[in-house]
Amino acid sequence: MLVNHEQYRTIWPNFEHAQPCVEIIDQTKLPHVFEVASLTTLAQMIVAIKTMQVRGAPLIGAAAAYGIALSTLDSCADRHLQQSAEQLIASRPTAVNLRWAVQRMLSALLRLPDAQRQSAAWAEAALICDEDVQLNQAIGKHGLTLIHAQHQQKARTINILTHCNAGWLATVDFGTALAPIYAAHNAGIHVHVWVGETRPRNQGASLTAWELGQHGVPHTVISDNAGGHLMQQGQVDMVIVGADRVTAAGDVCNKIGTYLKALAAFDSVALGHHVPFYAAVPSPTIDWNIEDGVKSIEIEERDAEELSWMSGKLSDGTIASVNILPHGTQVANPAFDVTPARLVTGIITERGVFTPQQLRTMQR
């Protein structure tokens, strides 16, 4: 069954039952199983965010917004909504979109009489989702100009390296880092994507490879450590990644391993072929309140089991997990890192492509 973003979003409300619910694509089951999960309570939405059934900065923002809407099914009292907001914000600390969406929901609801809050919550969450789709389509348009320029100059397939998953699965639809790639592919520009597998959760191998395959975009999965080598060999024309938080100075916080790819891209200048490094970022991912990402962004530390266990499909088609570490081995599992602005060529936003130094002009 082909599934692509013309048919699905990653999250949507369902009002067909007595009690409204929120339906999501359960991303922990991909690439081997496509399964939709129905969430009926705030607690279920918090579990979905924490366990990464839904993940990706813009999508967890949208999910948190619907978490507030689910919360109104129990109560619309100020204190109840504020406690729900605190629980959602605590579920994953790094992506600023989650806090941004929850604060936007509270701002929209707390000014209303209780009786109007439930319908307003579902409407505001839907608006956040629709806006995300529009932002990502604009990112695709602006990112396309970068790929088109390379294609005009080189008159061959353009090889793009990406990390983790910043496709339509990481957003409500269309994606951020993959949006320009889809736009180029749909415009007939030949692109090929090097897909970093992205240990330990393998969002690249399991999600980006699945997305690109469903859309018919040529791609090759590589180990995380192969990216620098491919850049050194002149096999990468540009790097485009997503982000979980970008500072006002243009520091880019993204999935662990991004910083190493940015370092390799930066070093490529010395080899005579510059590999530009771009982050594709909708404005709700920009945290205008901080400058230094290394000092100011809380990096989520995730469970050791994510490193010590791997899941996959056995030869008989069943899904199983295996332990890959010696018993008792100590594990550290930081989920994100920060690429300093000095390593960032440009930030692709819905308003255009900005250098880190130009980013503040977006606020005007």
Ligand X SMILES: CSC[C@H]1O[C@H](OP(=O)(O)O)[C@H](O)[C@@H]1O
Instruction: Using CB under 6 A, list all residues that contact ligand X.
Output: 55-58, 164, 166, 170-171, 176, 203, 241-242, 244, 254-255, 335
**Minimum distance, C-beta of residue 78 to ligand X, in the bound complex (Å):** 30
The reply to whether 264 sits in an annotated binding site is no
Q: How do beta strands 21-25 and 11-14 pair?
A: antiparallel
Q: Which of 237, 244, 251, 287 is catalytic?
A: 244
Question: In whole angstroms, how far apart are CA 292 and each of 246, 260, 297, 319, 347?
Answer: 10, 18, 8, 42, 16
The reply to whether 255 sits in an annotated binding site is yes
Q: Residue 13, SS3?
A: strand
The reply to whether 92 sits in an annotated binding site is yes
**Minimum distance, C-beta of residue 121 to ligand X, in the bound complex (Å):** 23
Q: In the 8-state DSSP scheme, what is residue 52?
A: T
**Minimum distance, C-beta of residue 58 to ligand X, in the bound complex (Å):** 6
The strand pairing partners of 193, in sequence order, are 160, 219
**Minimum distance, C-beta of residue 266 to ligand X, in the bound complex (Å):** 19
**Minimum distance, C-beta of residue 284 to ligand X, in the bound complex (Å):** 11
Q: Give the whole-angstrom CA distance, residue 80 versus residue 86.
A: 10
Tell me whether residue 303 is one of the annotated catalytic residues: no
Alpha helices in 216-257 (DSSP H): 227-232
Nearer residue to ligand X within complex by CB, 166 or 195? 166
For 225, other C-beta atoms within 10 Å of its C-beta total: 12
The reply to whether 203 sits in an annotated binding site is yes
Closest CA to 170 of 221, 243, 101: 243
Nearer residue to ligand X within complex by CB, 37 or 73? 37
**Minimum distance, C-beta of residue 155 to ligand X, in the bound complex (Å):** 31
Nearer residue to ligand X within complex by CB, 121 or 170? 170
Nearer residue to ligand X within complex by CB, 104 or 255? 255
Nearer residue to ligand X within complex by CB, 46 or 108? 46
Cα separation of the two ends of the chain: 45
Beta strands in the chain (DSSP E): 11-14, 21-25, 36-39, 158-163, 191-196, 219-222, 238-241, 245-247, 252-255, 277-280, 286-287, 309-313, 319-323, 336-339, 346-349, 352-354
Q: Specify whether the CB–CB gap between 311 and 319 falls below 8 A.
A: yes
Classify residue 344 as left (phi > 0), alpha (psi -120 to 50) or beta.
beta
Q: Give the whole-angstrom CA distance, residue 34 versus residue 36.
A: 7
Q: Which residues contact 285 (CB under 8 A, 6 or more apart)?
A: 57, 58, 95, 96, 97, 176, 243, 244, 245, 246
Nearer residue to ligand X within complex by CB, 191 or 335? 335
The reply to whether 56 sits in an annotated binding site is yes
Catalytically annotated residues: 244
Q: Residues annotated as binding site for substrate?
A: 55-57, 92, 203, 254-255
Q: Residues annotated as binding site?
A: 55-57, 92, 203, 254-255
